Amino acid sequence: MPTLNFIIPLLLTPLVAAIILALVRDYHRSTQLNTFASATVLLFALLLYYHQPPITSNLLFIDNLSIVFIILNAFVGFTTSIFSASYVRYELEIERLTPNYLRFYHGMFQLMVFGMNLALTTNNIGLMWVALELATLATIMMVGIYRTHKALEAAWKYFILSSVGLALALFGTILIYFSAVSSTLSEGLDAMAWTNLQHYAATFDPLLLNIAFIFLLIGYGTKIGLVPMHAWLPDAHAEGPTPVSAVLSGLLLNVALYALLRFKMIITTNPETIPVEPFIISFGLGSLMFAAFMLYRCYDIKRMFAYSSIEHMGIIVFAFGIGGPFSNFAGLLQIVMHSLTKSAIFFSIGHITQVKGTQKITDIHGLTSSHPLLGWTFVIGVIAIAGLPPFGIFMSEFLLITSTFTHAPILAVLIAFGLLLALGALLLCLGSVAFGEPNGSQIPVRISYLPIFIHLSLVLISGLHMPSIVVSLFQNVADLLK
């Protein structure tokens, strides 16, 4: 099958690169290899799209939903590798990282990419769980790489809470498998394949499916960062290297969401199960509201935008809970725009914390005066993530509110209130950090603007005119999600 010619290197490239990078001590070679491997993954992700999936086998399954996440992951992974090269150069100079730590960091980065790609391409619910666990462990290792007390504490919190969440998700997965085996499908791979499970789900025991969904929602909701299972996320963002914050917000949360969406498609196929949408809407709306209030209490700039990620994941989950072609389309658009915008913001924050030598918001002022280009890219990023026009997030949130208003006006008002609340906090942060008299240290740092420019340009173009090929792809996926 010709599509396999692209799936195999999509999976093997980061795995082989992880092994090689674990052995390379030279800084320049390791960063070049990390970027080259990420670029190769992006190339095969694009080739996979242009050769028109779907592909279905016992172990592999690619459809339009998979393609959206695969291309997004590959693209953000590539731009993050470019940013990471300039970021870790300074970290080596000030000896926060050593050559041994650096090769470990690059190896874990590629191992994380492998785990996420495997989770997005497998047709096996058990293997998907293993892949997501592998990607999680790789990011945990990167979060604690500075070996400070706070970094290790954040890594352990991440490990413990994510392990509990994934354990609950595993139990839900086992219940899905058991319901398949006890009704229609035979034991083994057939009863673990997404395609078989969705096809025969109408014959499964609805009680088992209902119980399974509760465990899956809480389990994968922990990885998504939904309130109240979110406690690991702010610490992981605040204490880990900034490139890790970019991939956590822009990639790994999305993969957990992908798994939850797949299971939702299985559960809703059975007409006798309880409606799952109210549960999803409640978690989404609760996460948005909680994060919006918490934004006012953040004094660490990385922690603040970690709560912004919780806010936006709540918006996305809410959109898929509302359902329907318009809300699903809005949810997909929000996923892409959030990943591009939030990673661009973390790229900016990474350099801001280096040039200022601090993450405290109160110690960062007048960035547009002291570092005009860096300051204004940060301003643009915050305006975009706040949902103001003419950026893509404004389009997705406007579409979500209007589509929700036709079905549930009260929910539309609540979601709009949450967005306005978050907007106020982000503008307060922006006024403090970007404007006024510059203060603090002015450390000379070589800044990589290319990833920031690329991401923000795409978000702006999407807000002004979205290409028809993207609209068509999103419409197909929205219809698939129902």
Over pLDDT 90: what percentage of the chain? 66
Helix (H) or strand (E) holding 56: strand 55-56
How many CB atoms are closer than 10 A to CB 363? 15
Q: Check residue 26 and give its pLDDT.
A: 80
Tens-digit pLDDT profile for residues 107-146: 999 999 999 999 999 999 999 999 999 999 999 999 999 8
CB 302 within 8 A of CB 353: yes
> What DSSP state is assigned to residue 124?
B
Please give the angle made by the CA atoms of 190, 173 and 338, to the nearest 5 degrees.
110
Q: Check residue 434 and give its pLDDT.
A: 87
Q: Model-level pTM?
A: 0.95
**Residues in the chain where the model's pLDDT stays below 50:** 1
> What DSSP state is assigned to residue 60?
B
Q: Check residue 74 and give its pLDDT.
A: 95
Annotate 179-244 with DSSP letters as a single string. Answer: HHHTTTSPSSGGGGBHHHHHHHGGGS-HHHHHHHHHHHHHHHHHHHT-TTS-THHHHHHHHS-HHH
Length, in residues, of the chain: 482
CB 382 within 8 A of CB 429: yes
CA distances from 25 to 141, 149, 422 (A): 18, 26, 44
Tens-digit pLDDT profile for residues 384-404: 999 999 999 999 999 999 999
CA dihedral 382, 385, 389, 395 (to 10 degrees): 170
Going by DSSP bridges, is the β-strand pair 61-62/55-56 parallel, antiparallel, or unpaired? antiparallel
